[in-house]
Amino acid sequence: MSASVKRTVVMLSAVAVIAVMGFSASPVGAHVAAANTKFCSVLSSDQGTGIDFESLGPAEATFAAKLMRKAAKTGVPANLKADLGKLAKVYDRIADGEPAAKVLTPSKQKAILPALTRFSKYVGANCKAPTT
């Protein structure tokens, strides 16, 4: 697997980890201050507990695709909704057993980078870490 593909796999894995783990470690009684609480709630759910996102295998990719689709239904802006759909399709291909190197060609990496960036920025702006 080329270094470029590895970076994108790491980035996709990071998106999935942010989505699952980013808020689940908050202390009991803490709240998530958010502009889109439904979106943040979907991301902070513990439905992915126990999944190892480091390898981004079929099980992780299946979960991540479902999570992206669920997050897209939370009233996010239209461009982010489209981005989440694109990311879900990438995860679907990996979940179906396609090798990451085939799914994440250089042109595909370039195409999904803006979607990954917008997703990360939206999470950062709308799903603040809980304060104690």
Structural domains counted in the chain: 1
SS3 74: coil
Contact 58, 95 (CB under 8 A): yes
Range of the domain at 88: 3-24+33-125
- What's the rounded Cα separation, in Å, for the pair 68 and 31? 22
Q: Could you give the maximum distance between any two Cα atoms of the chain, in Å?
A: 45
pTM value is 0.71
pLDDT of residue 29: 38
Instruction: Give the confidence band of 45 by pLDDT, cuts at 50, 70, 90.
Output: confident
If you average pLDDT over residues 79-96, what whole number do you get?
A: 94
- What's the rounded Cα separation, in Å, for the pair 85 and 70? 10
pLDDT of residue 118: 92
SS3 97: coil
- What's the rounded Cα separation, in Å, for the pair 69 and 90? 12
Instruction: Give the confidence band of 14 by pLDDT, cuts at 50, 70, 90.
Output: low
If you average pLDDT over residues 33-49, what whole number do you get?
A: 73
- Please count the CA atoms within 13 angstroms of the CA of 16 that sit on its side-chain side: 30
If you average pLDDT over residues 80-109, what whole number do you get?
A: 91
Q: Is residue 131 part of a domain?
A: no
Alpha helices in 1-132 (DSSP H): 3-21, 37-44, 58-72, 78-95, 100-103, 106-126
Residues 6+ apart with CB under 8 A from 106: 4
If you average pLDDT over residues 5-27, what whole number do you get?
A: 54
Instruction: Give the confidence band of 114 by pLDDT, cuts at 50, 70, 90.
Output: very high
- Of 32-36, 50-54, 104-108, least confident by mean pLDDT is 32-36
Q: Is residue 130 part of a domain?
A: no
